[in-house]
Amino acid sequence: ASVMGASQALLPSEVGAAGPFDVSIEISGNSRALQSAIDHTSNGGRIIVGSWYGNTDISLKLGIDFHRSHKVIKTSQVSEIPAELKTLWSKERRFDLTWELVKALRPSRLITKEVSLDAAQEAYDLLDKGKEIAVAFSYE
C-alpha cells in the first residue's frame, strides 16, 4: 500500500490501535470491513464506500453511538458524475485521469496468485479467507 502512495498500511488486526481515522475507505465488498470502517472513523469523520454489495443484504450496527458520532457514509458511484461536479468533470476528463493513475499505480503489482478459470472457486475461497490480496485468472 505504501508503494502505491498510502501514508499508512495496516493489517485489519492493527486498525483499533492506530485509529480513529478522519476518513475511512472501504473497497472490499465485505460487510465486516464496512463495520470496521464505521467503528474506527473519528466523530464527524467520513466513510467512503467504494465497493458494491450487489443484491446482498448486509447487517450493520448503527445504534446510538453511530448516530451521536455525526459520521457521514458516502458512496462512490463510478458510472455517473455527481451533479455538483458535472460542470468541472466530463466523463472524458475523468477517464483520462483514471488511466493516468492506473499507469502510475500499476495495480497488477497487487496480484498475489494466478489461477486458471477452472479454479475460480478456489481463488474466491482464498480471497474470502484473506490468504491472497488479488487473484488473476488465466484463460489458457
33 vs 14: CA distance, rounded Å: 13
Flag whether 30 is in a domain: yes
Residue 67, all three cell numbers: 448516530
Number of domains in the chain: 1
Length of the chain: 140
Flag whether 132 is in a domain: no
Where b means 16+ CB within 10 Å and e means fewer, 99-111 reads eeeeeeeeeeeee
Phi, psi values for residue 39, rounded to 5°: -65, -30
pLDDT (tens, 9 = 90+) of the chain, 140 residues, equals: 677 777 777 777 787 787 799 999 888 888 888 999 999 999 999 999 987 888 888 999 999 999 999 999 998 877 788 888 889 998 899 899 999 999 988 888 889 999 999 999 999 999 888 888 899 999 87
Flag whether 42 is in a domain: yes
Residue 46's domain is classified under what CATH number? 3.40.50.720
Flag whether 35 is in a domain: yes
Give residue 76's domain range: 2-80
